[in-house]
């Protein structure tokens, strides 16, 4: 790291850097180059050109090759690829998005959905000889991918697919690369052959010639100015009976013979659709990681600023007080730093799981589905955290935080859309909860209505915990501490885990009961719609519990005593801040007394007091080099000195 840091910070950074720590350290050195710094003063046309030039430099670093299989010219290191590209977020999020579209979304679609006949495309896209885009979203359908309107109709007479936009709402929209740079699109469309709709498939469709002009039948539009990410050329694409060769169908999971015969090894259309989308999970993993990286940058700036900026004199000493010495400032920033730690450990765990699945080291049939659920949940947590943390950092830095030269408003603008792309956060939370409810229903499917009522009213069941491993973790920690859960010491990990798990259990149980009871009266859709708030809360509780587990696992291997003690306190702060946030729920549902709620509040104050002297160490552990922060208010410390 360029800013050195204490030995304690070094130990903590090593833990937070995770399995691909060497990749992170290499990227810190590579990306310190001024060529990768964003320039907020450029207009969007110049910003796009700059990012494309930066992409060409990145292409020579070997970062992209890690994400592709050896037979396709890569090195088969998906974990290293996600980690390395995540580091681009420290420099410029426009660059991260542009790289993600080219090598993650477009390249990922070609490699994971294509076959050997598409190998040449991978060679070309790796070197940027072929610039591409990922054309899934339509103006009328974003999250509802199954009901996209664009069609790909096979014509056996010419052995071509005809790509067509049948309605205005079927235009491909918000597509990164579509406005200017992309020459080819990975287009998701309803595949029609022999007069039958076979569902959504992906096809490679050339959209521009070598001079950048739209090809016949293709019309592209520029989405124009956006709330952020000026270096990304988002645009719209309309297809008017565009013909492409039969071989342009990405045919890993389904193919069309020259005579139009459709074949697939996955007979069930629904399973085929979800298998197709599941192979693209790396994009969702990456979005969450980049959002969390943006939050780390903002917190690194805000805490360092709070250590320098003074405001209001201490009546006893006459000296102005450093912002970070105010409890209100500690409370607004330090819990967010703790959450960044928690999410960093959770991301490391997620990337490790993804790497094992995508390299064939984890062949458990349920591993892919579990990965998708975890990726969806963590993407929600990370992007919501980024939105909240960056805004808090902006406010905590006052007027200086509003100046573009100090990066916070740029980070806020650039990460705002992360809550939307790769899955709207509300929809993804709902997806997580549906998975929980599906698993849960297997346990109670044969119970009558009375049985459901009794089951839902039982507080001590272990349906969620049996599947997650949290039950074993609670028991192990209880045994280690020699205390029973009933003693309820909030500083005990076993008690903390049990509170999180009990909340999740209760919400899933009661949501299931509510759905079952309502469905008999109104039908499934109305029942689900009526319980949607409950379902979303259950999904959020599940995500919170997964992140806590990852935090506990992440600090378990820290050997240095001082570093371990500090990490334990930071973990406590993460737990107490969430308990405080949900105090009303815990009291209403009798998981927590009013006295215990007061103890949580006192515990928060004690923890921020204890952690105050280590605020900079906590920030240094997050691993954003001070030289990459590039906030003007940090570079000229003399402005805060008093004569």
Any idea which residues carry the catalytic annotation? 422
Give the Cα separation of 580 and 295 in Å (integer).
Answer: 22
- What is the token pair recorded at 605? 């104050």
Orientation of helix 408-415 relative to helix 281-306, angle to 10°: 160
DSSP 460-491: S--HHHHHHSHHHHHHHHHHHHT--GGG--TT
DSSP 115-127: -GGGHHHHHHHHT
Task: Give just the sign of the alpha carbon dihedral 624, 628, 633, 639.
Answer: positive
Would you call 439 helix, strand, or coil by DSSP? Answer: helix
Closest residue by Cα to residue 151 from 34, 241, 74, 225: 241
Closest residue by Cα to residue 16 from 338, 374, 377: 338
CB 113 within 8 A of CB 253: yes
User: Which residue spans within 498-619 are E strands per DSSP?
Assistant: none
Orientation of helix 532-555 relative to helix 470-481, angle to 10°: 50
The owner of tokens 């993650």 is 104
Helices vs strands, H then E, count in the chain: 26, 13
Which bin fits 630, alpha (ψ -120 to 50), beta or left (φ > 0)?
left
Q: How far apart are the first and last CA of the chain?
A: 33
Closest residue by Cα to residue 276 from 403, 112, 45, 103: 112
Give me Rg for the CA atoms of the chain: 26
Residues linked to residue 190 through DSSP beta bridges, in sequence order = 151, 200
Give the Cα separation of 529 and 70 in Å (integer).
Answer: 47
List of residues 6+ apart from 540 with CB closer than 8 A: 380, 429
Closest residue by Cα to residue 503 from 429, 381, 586: 586
Give the Cα separation of 58 and 66 in Å (integer).
Answer: 13
Give the Cα separation of 79 and 359 in Å (integer).
Answer: 9
């Amino acid at each position: 790291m360029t800013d050195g840091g204490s030995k304690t910070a070094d130990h903590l950074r090593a833990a937070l850097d995770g399995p691909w720590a060497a990749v992170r350290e290499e990227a810190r050195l590579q990306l310190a180059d001024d060529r990768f710094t964003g320039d907020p003063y450029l207009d969007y046309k110049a910003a796009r050109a700059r990012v494309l030039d930066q992409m060409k430099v990145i292409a020579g670093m070997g970062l992209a090759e890690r994400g592709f299989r050896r037979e396709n010219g890569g090195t088969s290191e998906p974990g290293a690829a996600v980690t390395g590209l995540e580091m681009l977020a420290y420099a410029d999020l426009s660059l991260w998005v542009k790289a993600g579209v080219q090598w993650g979304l477009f390249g990922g679609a070609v490699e994971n959905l294509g076959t050997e006949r598409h190998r040449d495309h991978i060679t070309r896209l790796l070197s940027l000889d072929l610039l591409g885009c990922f054309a899934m979203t339509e103006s009328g359908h974003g999250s509802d991918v199954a009901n996209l309107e664009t069609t790909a109709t096979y014509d056996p007479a010419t052995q071509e697919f005809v790509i067509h936009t049948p309605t205005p709402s079927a235009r491909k929209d918000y597509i990164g690369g579509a406005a200017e740079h992309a020459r080819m699109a990975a287009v998701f469309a309803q595949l029609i052959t022999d007069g039958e709709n076979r569902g959504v498939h992906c096809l490679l469709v050339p959209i521009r010639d070598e001079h950048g002009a739209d090809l016949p039948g293709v019309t592209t539009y520029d989405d124009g100015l956006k709330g952020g990410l000026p270096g990304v050329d988002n645009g719209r694409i309309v297809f008017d009976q565009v013909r492409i060769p039969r071989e342009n169908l990405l045919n890993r999971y389904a193919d069309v013979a020259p005579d139009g015969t459709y074949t697939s090894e996955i007979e069930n259309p629904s399973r085929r659709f979800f298998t197709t989308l599941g192979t693209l999970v790396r994009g969702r993993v990456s979005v969450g990681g980049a959002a969390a990286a943006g939050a780390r940058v903002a917190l690194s700036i805000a805490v360092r600023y709070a250590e320098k900026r003074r405001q209001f004199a201490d009546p006893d000493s006459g000296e102005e007080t450093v912002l970070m010495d105010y409890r209100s400032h500690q409370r607004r920033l330090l819990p967010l730093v703790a959450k960044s730690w928690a999410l960093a450990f959770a991301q490391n765990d997620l990337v490790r799981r993804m790497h094992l699945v995508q390299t064939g080291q984890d062949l458990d049939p349920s591993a892919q589905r579990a990965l998708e659920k975890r990726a969806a949940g963590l993407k929600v947590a990370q992007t919501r955290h980024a939105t909240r943390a960056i805004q808090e950092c902006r406010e905590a830095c006052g007027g200086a935080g509003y100046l573009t030269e100090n990066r916070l408003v740029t980070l806020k603008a650039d990460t705002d859309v992360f809550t939307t792309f790769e899955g709207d956060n509300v929809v993804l939370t709902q997806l997580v909860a549906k998975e929980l409810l599906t698993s849960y229903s297997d346990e109670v499917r044969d119970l009558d209505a009375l049985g459901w009522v009794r089951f839902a009213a039982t507080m001590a069941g272990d349906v969620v915990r049996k599947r997650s491993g949290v039950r074993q973790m609670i028991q192990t920690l209880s045994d280690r501490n020699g205390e029973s859960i009933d003693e309820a010491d909030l500083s005990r990990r076993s008690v903390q885990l049990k509170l999180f798990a009990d909340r999740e259990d209760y919400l899933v149980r009661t949501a299931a009961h509510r759905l079952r009871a309502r469905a008999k009266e109104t039908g499934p859709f109305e029942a689900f719609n009526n319980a949607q708030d409950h379902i979303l809360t259950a999904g959020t509780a599940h995500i919170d519990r997964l992140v806590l587990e990852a935090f506990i696992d992440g600090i378990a291997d820290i050997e240095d005593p001082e570093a371990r003690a500090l990490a334990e306190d930071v973990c406590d702060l993460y737990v107490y801040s969430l308990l405080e946030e949900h105090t009303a729920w815990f009291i209403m549902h009798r998981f927590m007394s009013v006295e215990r709620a007061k103890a949580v509040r006192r515990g928060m104050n004690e923890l921020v007091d204890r952690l105050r002297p280590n605020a900079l160490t906590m920030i240094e552990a997050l691993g954003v080099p001070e030289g990459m922060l590039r906030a003007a208010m940090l570079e000229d410390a003399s402005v805060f000195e008093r004569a």
